[in-house]
Amino acid sequence: MNDLSDTSSRDWGPFGRPLFDDPSARALARVGVIDIGSNSVRMVVFDGAARSPAYFYNEKIMCALGAGVGETGRLNPEGRVRALAAIRRFQLLAEGMNLPPLTAVATAAVRDAEDGQDFRDEVERETGLRIWVIDGEEEARLSAQGVLLGWPGSFGLVCDIGGSSMELAEIRDGRVGRRVTSNLGPLKLQGIKGGKAGRKAHIKEAMETLAEKMGTQRDRLFLVGGSWRAIARIDMERRGYPLHVLHEYRMTATSVSETAKYINACDLEELRTACSISSARMSLVPYAIEVLKRLVRTFKPKDIAISSYGIREGMLYEQMPQRLRDRDPLIEACRFAEAKDARLPGFGKTLFHFVQPLFKNAPPARMRLIKAACLLHDVSWRAHPDYRAETCFDNATRANLGGLKHNERVFLGLALLHRYRNKREGTRFEDLYELLDDKEQRQAEVLGKAMRFGAMFWMQGDVPMGQFRWFPQKRVLELRIPRAASALYGEVAEARLMSLAASMEAEAQVKFVS
């Protein structure tokens, strides 16, 4: 554990010293929140100590609490009963988990309904839980903070759509700027008179008002909310997209337009089944896609990213100390995984320094993936040897990690697959490889085989494990091994070095040094 407990001034590089064992971070373990929305009620319990949110528990009940509020002014009676039952259950679960007091927030439906306060009083009587009703601008701020949890330092426009409202917030340099709310939630749009033409005019007018308040927003558009995620699933289905991970899925204005046509042309029940979308959610999709088309046409973003992080993650972010907020969520999560699951926690840092010379001209974005791979290189050791490579790939590509584009997930997964397997052909993942070009696939192979070889020099403490020197012009890969470690360079190690050199189209040379 030398690498993780070291408090000296040793250089930790651009990622800083791990913080997940710091008391300020450990205080975030088991943070429970309840989000009472217009369409659903959800409880999430985070383990937030690792900076990238780990979902210890996550349950959602579709209550449609806000259905009909625009017409009656009151909460949906059936939804109110279901919501109260869900909150009772969540409170009992929290007590069973020995959680600190839950934080419960309610959004548009409860704040707009004339019986919203009565509902809050009933919940407090029944469960002892106090509900905080937040206004639209606060809802926008928390959703934007959720996006910053996954994309620190990002910039653009965050759009969070709920059942009864839609919020916009700008983010820049890690901070939330202007915020605005609207009544463009799908449940509200169901009550607009005049059918599709009436909705179209209403949406256009509301969007123009939002644009006046928010000003020019031509950067990335981050989409938050269940209706946007459902549309993203449909876009994946239309495209035949191979990686079914919603977080960081990218869309374009053209794909939004094509998916709108696709939804209109399809049988909604068949589409719902194919995309694994609930009936309650699917009923809102035709309204949400009308909003999205106008949103994209109005703000003209340079690209569109789906965020699985929103108001609940924003509540976790609210409790983080700034120095934890500033950390790279990917690297912190990988460090946490290494400390928890690797056989020799801390070796990932040593391995990273060992393989670095092979990638000395790599840009920072690639170096963070190399760092992440080294930290994760041994966390799947408990898997059966015949499936270890596949387990690694699955974990990297489908894990709930922030700060990873889809092609970066595949790069990380492919590197870890090659950590345990020489060839990538013949796996069930080959359709995902196409998210990388040939050069990126070869780089992932080199990284994986370098880690595979470096793992042969697994030693404690500060014993030097050897040093790579790479001469790309000569196509020579030189390995300098301390004589004290020469016995570790056996037949298997030699075979792995030769495999690495072959993937680099290089000649391997080994030198033993004093």
Residue 9 scores a pLDDT above 80: no
The pLDDT score that the predictor gives to residue 423 is 93
* pLDDT bracket for residue 514 (50, 70, 90): confident
Q: Give the model's pLDDT for residue 4.
A: 35
Query: What is the widest separation between alpha-carbon atoms in the chain?
Result: 85
- Give the containing element (helix H, strand E) for 194: none
Statement: residue 365 has pLDDT above 70: yes
Burial string for 124-162 (b: 16+ CB within 10 Å, else e) reads: eeebebebebbebbbbbbbbbbbbbbbbbebebbbbbbb
pLDDT at 290: 97
CB 369 within 8 A of CB 406: no
Question: Tell me, what's the pLDDT at 22?
Answer: 57
- Say if residues 322 and 237 touch (Cβ distance below 8 Å): no
**pLDDT tens string 393-437:** 999 999 888 889 999 999 999 999 999 999 999 999 999 999 999
Q: With bands split at pLDDT 50, 70 and 90, how would you rate the model's confidence at 14? A: low
Q: 381 pLDDT exceeds 90?
A: yes
Angle subtended at Cα 461 by Cα 458 and Cα 462, rounded to the nearest 5 degrees = 100
- Answer yes or no: is pLDDT of 186 > 70: yes
**Highest mean pLDDT (candidates 67-71, 214-218, 428-432):** 428-432
CB 381 within 8 A of CB 361: no
| pLDDT band at 8; cut points 50, 70, 90 | very low
Q: Provide the pLDDT for residue 415.
A: 98
CB 149 within 8 A of CB 400: no
**Is residue 223 predicted with pLDDT exceeding 80?**
yes
Whole-number pLDDT of residue 323: 82
SS3 state at 177: strand
Mean pLDDT of 362-373: 96
**Coil/strand/helix, residue 72:** helix
Share of the chain above pLDDT 90, in %: 76
Instruction: Of 286, 371, 362, 288, give the one whose Cα is nearest residue 327.
Output: 371
Q: Is residue 432 a contact partner of residue 459, using CB atoms and an 8 Å limit?
A: no
Judge whether residue 51 has pLDDT over 90.
no
At 57, phi and psi to the nearest 5?
-155, 140
Q: In the prediction, which pLDDT does 486 show?
A: 86
Model confidence band, residue 3 (pLDDT cutoffs 50, 70, 90): very low
In 3D space, the residue among 10, 32, 22 whose CA is nearest the CA of residue 324 turns out to be 22
Q: What pLDDT is stored for residue 276 in this prediction?
A: 96
Please report the domains of the chain, with CATH numbers, ordered by start residue: 24-133 (3.30.420.40), 137-313 (3.30.420.150), 327-463 (1.10.3210.10)
Return phi, psi of residue 178, to 5°.
-65, 145
Instruction: Name the burial class of residue 281, with classes exposed (0-12), middle (13-18) and buried (19+) by CB atoms within 10 angstroms of its CB.
Output: buried
pLDDT band at 457; cut points 50, 70, 90: confident
234 neighbors 197 (Cβ within 8 angstroms): no
Measured CA to CA in angstroms, residue 368 lies from 330, 352, 375 at distances of: 8, 10, 11
What average pLDDT score do residues 123-146 get?
A: 95
Q: Give dist(CA 257, CA 473) in Å, integer.
A: 48
| Closest-CA residue to 301 (of 404, 223, 405) | 223
320 pLDDT above the threshold of 60: yes
pLDDT per residue as tens digits for the range 75-91:
999 999 999 999 999 99
Average pLDDT (379-399) is: 93
Residues 91-133 have pLDDT tens digits of 999 999 999 889 999 999 999 999 999 999 999 999 999 999 9
If pLDDT is split at 50, 70 and 90, which confidence band does 234 have?
very high
| Cβ–Cβ under 8 Å, residues 150 and 309 | yes
Alpha helices in 300-437 (DSSP H): 311-319, 322-325, 329-341, 347-355, 364-376, 388-398, 406-420, 430-433
CB 157 within 8 Å of CB 220: yes
Mean pLDDT of the chain: 90
Residue 377 has pLDDT above 50, yes or no: yes
- Strands 303-307, 250-251: pairing kind: antiparallel
pLDDT on residue 17: 55
Q: What is the pLDDT of residue 332?
A: 87
